[in-house]
């Protein structure tokens, strides 16, 4: 059931001071956009969840659902952290700052859910308390880490070969889609990340000009009755330009670049997902995806989890109370001890 569908990837950073309920965009990863939303009250897991839901988002899980430190009330968005029980929000901090969450100023005051010995929420203040993990029960009116699916109504596909713009349009149509419109900054940033992970070359998108775009110096439009020479004017088409950090550029449409196709997401004609999962597809069902019911994971929702086989646990500063030291015992447990 693997497929290169997609939704968005970005790196806008906001450290605005927000009032309760106000939000700021952080970044997008693997089809989900992440936001910080100002909470009101103690930073418990239930408050984080309520804050996210009131803003129209979900509370993302800090790790895989099979991790014993992942609360059952969160939504799996694919975040891994530093591994089960280690460095929650590390996916986000590494993307924004290239560093551990406790040392990423872009997420100052950000809290997420995580089962610890003192509750189910943990956060960071890299500016005021660098290097420290903070228990949610000790803090109020901070930011809740929230998420939402980005553009779940369509998916994208990147080409592996260059073509002129018109030929690119035709190829996308043949695949059951269209040349990608890219109508938001979030889409642009997501595709930038996907392209960098793939071919890392410039890509055509579904945007071009035409004769009607010509204006006189007084800003009036030209008459449609005026005649152009054959083949003129040469249209310019838009591309995500590698040489400009994938900002938009324009080139003659006859030039050859790779291209981005997009397709609407529709319900599968045949539901191949198991255990109550829902199947959606795009590009004439060349790609299909399963949204699994709670308690199931896997490409076809064929794996049941009950935390029976959690990943390895690694001690963190939040593992033990009173500043005691933490020592791993095998892969699934640890001991706490006072400093000598």
Tokens of 276: 């109550």
Report all structural domains of the chain as residue ranges with CATH numbers, in order of start: 23-149 (3.10.100), 154-209+231-264 (3.10.100.10), 266-304 (2.10.25.10)
- For the question of whether the overall pTM of this predicted structure is more than 0.95, the answer is no
As a whole number of Å, the CA-based R_g of the chain is 24
At 158, is the secondary structure helix, strand, or coil?
A: strand
**With contact defined as beta carbons under 8 Å apart, do 317 and 327 qualify?**
no
Q: Is 149 exposed, middle or buried (0-12, 13-18, 19+ CB in 10 A)?
A: middle
Cis amide bond preceding 233, omega within 30: yes
Reported as a single tens digit per residue, the pLDDT across 115-168 is 988 889 999 999 999 999 999 999 999 999 999 876 667 788 999 999 999 999
d(CA 238, CA 205): 6
pLDDT along the chain (340 residues), means of 10: 31 36 78 88 96 92 90 90 90 90 95 90 94 94 89 81 96 95 83 85 92 76 83 88 94 95 90 88 84 75 59 54 59 54
d(CA 67, CA 18): 32
Neighbouring residues of 71: CB distance < 8 A, sequence distance ≥ 6: 45, 61, 113, 114, 115, 120
Other C-beta atoms lying within 10 Å of the C-beta of residue 261:
26
* Neighbouring C-alpha atoms within 13 Å toward the C-beta of 7: 18
d(CA 29, CA 143): 19
Q: Is the dihedral of CA 241, 246, 248, 253 positive or negative?
A: positive
Q: Residues 311-336, buried b or exposed e (16+ Cβ, 10 A)?
A: bebbbbebbbeeeeebeeeeeeebee
Among 62, 64, 67, CA closest to 101: 62
Reported as a single tens digit per residue, the pLDDT across 75-121 is 988 899 988 888 999 999 998 899 999 999 999 999 999 998 888 99
d(CA 86, CA 80): 9
- The count of residues in the chain is 340
């Amino acid at each position: 059931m693997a497929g290169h569908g997609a939704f968005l990837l970005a790196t806008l950073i906001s450290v605005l001071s927000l009032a309760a309920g106000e939000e700021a965009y952080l970044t997008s990863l693997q089809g989900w956009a992440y936001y910080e939303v100002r909470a009101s009250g103690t930073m418990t897991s239930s408050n984080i969840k309520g804050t996210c839901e009131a803003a129209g988002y979900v509370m993302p899980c800090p790790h895989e659902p099979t991790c014993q430190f992942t609360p059952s009330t969160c939504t799996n968005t694919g975040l891994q952290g530093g591994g089960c029980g280690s460095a929650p929000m590390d996916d986000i901090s590494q993307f924004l700052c290239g560093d551990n969450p406790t040392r990423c100023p872009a997420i100052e005051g950000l809290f997420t859910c995580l089962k610890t010995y003192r509750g189910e929420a943990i956060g960071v203040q890299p500016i005021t308390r660098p290097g420290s993990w903070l228990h949610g029960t000790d803090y109020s009116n901070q930011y809740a880490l929230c998420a939402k699916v980005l553009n779940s109504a369509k998916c994208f596909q990147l080409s592996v070969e260059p073509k002129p713009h018109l030929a690119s349009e035709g190829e996308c149509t043949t695949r059951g889609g269209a040349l990608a419109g890219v109508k938001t900054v979030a889409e642009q940033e997501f595709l930038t990340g996907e392209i960098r992970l793939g071919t890392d070359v410039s890509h055509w998108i579904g945007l071009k000009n035409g004769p009607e775009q010509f204006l006189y110096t007084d800003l009036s439009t030209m008459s449609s009755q005026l005649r152009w020479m054959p083949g003129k004017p040469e249209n310019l088409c838009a591309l995500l330009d590698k040489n400009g950090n994938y900002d938009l550029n324009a080139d003659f449409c006859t030039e050859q670049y790779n291209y981005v196709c997009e397709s609407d997401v529709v319900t599968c004609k045949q539901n191949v997902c198991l255990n109550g999962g829902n199947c959606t597809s795009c590009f004439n069902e060349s790609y299909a995806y399963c949204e699994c019911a709670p308690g199931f994971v896997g490409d076809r929702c064929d794996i049941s989890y009950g935390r029976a086989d959690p990943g390895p646990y690694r001690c963190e500063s939040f593992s033990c109370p009173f500043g005691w030291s933490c020592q791993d015992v095998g892969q699934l447990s640890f001991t706490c001890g006072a400093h000598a």
